[in-house]
Amino acid sequence: MRRARTFTDDVEFSAEDASRTDPDFLCRVVQAAIEEGATTINLPDTVGYAMPEEYGAMFRDVLARVPGADRVTLSAHCHDDLGLAVANSLAAIAAGARQVECTVNGIGERAGNAALEEIVIASQVRGAALRFRCNVEPREIYRASQLLSYLTGVFPQPNKAIVGRNAFAHEAGIHQHGMLQNGLTYEIIQPEMVGIPRSTLVLGKHSGRHGLERRFRDLGYDLTEAQLAEVYREFIALADRKREILDEDLLALLHDSFHDAPEEFQLTHLRVVCGSVSPTAEVRMTGAWAGERAARGTGDGPIAAAFTAISEITGRQLEVMSLQLRSLTPGRDSVGQVFLQVKVDGKSLSGHGASTDIVEASARALVNALNKARHADRLESTSLNSVYLWGV
344 shares a domain with 207: no
Backbone angles phi, psi at 351, to 5 degrees: -150, 155
Distance CA(72)–CA(30), nearest Å, equals 11
pLDDT of residue 46: 96
Q: How many CA atoms lie within 13 A of 165 on its CB side?
A: 8
pLDDT of residue 126: 87
pLDDT of residue 45: 97
Helix axis angle, 225-239 relative to 247-254, nearest 10°? 120
Residue at 138 is within a domain: yes
Residue at 250 is within a domain: no
Query: Which residues span the domain enclosing 146?
Result: 2-152
Residue 384 has pLDDT above 60, yes or no: no
270 shares a domain with 195: no
Total tally of structural domains belonging to the chain: 3
273 shares a domain with 361: yes
Distance CA(344)–CA(369), nearest Å, equals 8
Neighbour tally for 136: CB within 10 Å: 17
pLDDT of residue 154: 73
Query: Domain holding 147: CATH number?
Result: 3.20.20.70
| Listed residues 245, 279, 309: the one ending a domain | 245
Query: Domain holding 284: CATH number?
Result: 3.30.160.270
pLDDT of residue 328: 65
pLDDT digits (tens, 9 = 90+) for 114-153: 999 999 989 988 888 888 889 999 888 878 887 887 677 6
pLDDT of residue 88: 97
CA 249 from chain centre, in angstroms, equals 24
Q: Are 262 and 371 in contact (CB under 8 A)?
A: yes
The DSSP element (H or E) to which 47 belongs, if any, is: none
How does the average pLDDT of the chain come out, rounded?
82
**Which has the higher per-residue pLDDT, 3 or 197?**
3
146 shares a domain with 173: no
Query: Which range is least confidently modeled, 109-118, 178-187, 270-279, 318-327?
Result: 178-187
End-to-end CA gap in the chain: 72
Residue at 75 is within a domain: yes
Residue at 161 is within a domain: no
Average pLDDT in the 52-70 region? Answer: 96
Average pLDDT in the 65-87 region? Answer: 96
232 shares a domain with 373: no
Residue at 387 is within a domain: no
CA 80 from chain centre, in angstroms, equals 20
CA 68 from chain centre, in angstroms, equals 44
Query: Which range is least confidently modeled, 6-10, 220-224, 256-260, 282-286?
Result: 256-260
Residue at 253 is within a domain: no
**Non-local CB neighbours of 285 within 8 Å, separated by 6+ positions:** 265, 266, 267, 268, 292, 293, 294, 310, 313, 314, 367
Residue 170 has pLDDT above 70, yes or no: no
Q: How confident is the model at residue 390 (pLDDT cuts 50, 70, 90)?
A: very low
38 shares a domain with 146: yes
198 shares a domain with 148: no
380-to-148, 275, 372 alpha-carbon distances in Å: 43, 43, 12
pTM: 0.54
200 shares a domain with 84: no
Q: How confident is the model at residue 8 (pLDDT cuts 50, 70, 90)?
A: very high
Residue at 97 is within a domain: yes
Residue at 94 is within a domain: yes
284 shares a domain with 241: no
205-to-23, 162, 349 alpha-carbon distances in Å: 53, 24, 18
340 shares a domain with 201: no
227 shares a domain with 183: yes
